[in-house]
Structure 1
Amino acid sequence: MSQDRRTVLMSRLENRLDAADGTASRMGVLCALTVEHLAVSGVGATVLASLADGDGQDPSRGLVHATNEVSTGLEDLQLTVGEGPCLDAFVTGGPVLVADLADSHTRWPGFTPGALALGAAAVFSFPLHIGAARLGSLDVYHDRPGKLSDTQISDALILADLATHAVVTELEGHASGDAGWLADPHAEIHQATGMIQAQLNTTTEAALLRLRAHAYTHALPLIDVARRVTDRQLRFTDEPDEDQQDAPA
């Protein structure tokens, strides 16, 4: 039965791609299909890779596609606070299913309030992986609390597998840990982290934490803070309270 459902979903995906006539990416079409098929509010798909100097537990993210602003905001929020369903799915290799996000404050104290403010009430993340090799996640949200049915979960796993194959196709010709080739709105985050690392003579992990802390403290999107760093409008000093604006690099 699951093979029959996979065949149906693959057929629907290919039909939509044919109708798009090359004007939309495979992942974009798949995400739109996921929203419609699962009857959810939005979907984001990401590729994740460990930071070059990290221990493998703090993945950097390249956004592949998001169906709306809320999905984009949820992905950015998780990168800012360093926690959330996407990261849990990546670390554990299994789906993360949260039917009522309001009950998850203790699980993700940094992520949950912001996600609720964005309009997410339920979140579901499905890992993208080939065997033990984890590539990222397919992230689903709904604007009202509620579980996914067993059939929806089964179909979401199939859709995540189809998304994995789409990512693998795009990965051809790139190093397995390199997500920089993506049309990645977070590329500046990696650049800003490197600049902060040089300013403070510290590790990549510590530099990223300082960047995240500044964004969280000032209630700013992480990408906005990163751009201020790369534009040399924000320089980090040895003391967290002495971060300077409009300072030369």
Structure 2
Amino acid sequence: MSDDLRETRVLSAVVSLVDSLLDDFDVVDLLTELTERCAELLDISSAGFLLADPLRRLHLVAATSEQTRDLELFQLQAEQGPCIDCYRTGEPVVVPDIATQVDRWPRFAPAAAEAGFAAVHALPMRAAGVVLGALNLFDTRPGGLSEADRLVAQTLAHIACVAVLQEHPPTAATVVSPLRSALIGRVVVEQAKGFVSEVLGVSMDEAFRLIRTHSRAHGEHLTDVARRLMRDRHTRPELVRALTELAHREGRQ
């Protein structure tokens, strides 16, 4: 890809994401889109965002795929990996070859390799001197991050911070409420994914895509649709029918 074409794609992505911030948006949906943009713009396999709660415990809020989600959750369970180190130090972690990091991360490094990833990187999400979490990047090919790639990734991480803190000034005293809101939203979305996956007999990735497609087509927040699926017994049957019809309609195309 030429430098001019890459620059155009990056600027277009940034403009689109900033436009979303200026409109009514769903933070979980936007962070998921950010992971997809990361993969596209950096030519990597996948990405994920981890956010810290008020007790400084990291939680997954968005991932490009279910495979990435599983590895991110394993990283949290093992309490080791690039995102953990990035969050603790507030500094980027760039690992061009995960196979060389077994001594550093004896549980995470083999798990990442087994999942098919050769390179992993993490960049901090920081606002007003507070590290909110980290952006994880995964690739099936070994290799580092160029300065241009790192700048793009850090820019997307900054946009993620703005998305999380949109309703509050980014100071250490005010980050708790929006962080809690984002984390709760992600939990509800995960519950809805599992419910739709079981009811419709589809993969978790497909369940999430169906919920997301429905929410966007109807101008609803992703988390609002998820909450209706999990908590509103009156509208749930109608939603399930709509998702079933959507799956069948797309299957015929």
TM over 0.5: yes
Q: Give runs of aligned pairs for residues 79-90 of structure 1, distance below 5 A.
A: 79-90=76-87
- TM-score, normalised to structure 1, is 0.61
Aligned position for 2:219: none
Deviates more, 1:26-35 or 1:175-184: 175-184
The corresponding residue for 1:145 is: 142
**Residue of 31, 45, 50 corresponding to 1:46:** 50
1:110-132 deviation digits (Å, cap 9, x = unpaired): 21111111111100101111132
Q: Distance in 2 between matches of 1:108 and 1:78?
A: 10
Q: Specify the alignment match of 2:14 in structure 1.
A: 10
Rate the CA distance shift 1:37–1:173 in 2: closer, same or farther, 3 A. closer
Alignment of 1:132-171 (within 5 A): 132-169=129-166
Q: C-alpha offsets along residues 77-97 of structure 1, whole Å, 9 cap, x if unaligned?
A: 111111111111101101110
Match of residue 112 from structure 1 = 109
Gaps in structure 2 of 5+ consecutive residues: 1-6, 169-173, 192-253
Would you identify which runs of 4 or more consecutive aligned residues in structure 1 move more than 4 Å?
A: 4-9, 21-24, 170-174
- TM-superposed deviation, 1:13: 2.5
Classify 1:173/1:121 alpha carbon distance in 2 versus 1 (closer, same or farther; 3 Å).
Answer: closer
Residue type of the partner of 1:125?
A
Q: Could you tell me how far apart the structure 2 residues matched to 1:165 and 1:106 are?
A: 36
2:29 to 19, 25, 30: 25
Paired with 1:174 and 1:132, the residues of 2 have a C-alpha distance of: 14
Q: Could you tell me which amino acid in structure 2 is paired with residue 142 of structure 1?
A: D
More helix by share: 2
- Per the normalisation by structure 2, the TM-score is 0.60
Is the CA contact (8 Å cut-off) linking 1:90 and 1:127 kept in structure 2? Answer: yes
The DSSP-based 3-state class of the residue aligned with 1:13 is helix
Matching residue's letter, 1:129: R
**Closer, same or farther: CA 9–180 of 1 in aligned 2, 3 Å:** closer
- 1:34 aligns to 2:38 (yes or no): yes
Task: Specify the alignment match of 1:93 in structure 2.
Answer: 90
2:177 aligned residue: 175
The alignment partner of 1:141 has SS state of: strand
CA 180–149 in structure 1, closer or farther in 2 if over 3 Å, else same: closer
SS at match of 2:143: coil
CA-CA distance at 1:182 after TM superposition: 3.4
Verify the 8 A CA contact 2:165 2:175 in the aligned structure 1: no
Which residues of 2 match residues 50-89 of structure 1 at below 5 A?
A: 51=55, 59-89=56-86
Contact kept? 1:78, 1:111, Cα under 8 Å: yes
Contact 2:83–2:134 under 8 Å retained in 1? yes
Per the TM alignment, residue 34 of structure 1 is displaced from its structure 2 partner at its CA by 1.1
Conservation of the 8 A alpha-carbon contact between 2:164 and 2:179: no
Instruction: Give RMSD over aligned pairs.
Output: 3.2
Say which SS state the counterpart of residue 145 (structure 2) adopts: coil
Q: Which amino acid is 1:184 matched to?
A: V
**CA–CA distance in structure 1, aligned partners of residues 155 and 50 of structure 2:** 16
Q: Number of aligned residue pairs: give it.
A: 175
Alignment of 1:190-229 (within 5 A): none
Identity of aligned residues (%): 32
Q: Deviations over 1:61-109 (max 9, x none)?
A: 2221100122102211111111111111101101110000000001111
Whole-angstrom distance in 2 between the partners of 1:138 and 1:121: 17
- 8 A Cα contact 1:119 1:143, kept in partner: yes
Pick one of 124, 128, 133 that aligns with 2:125: 128
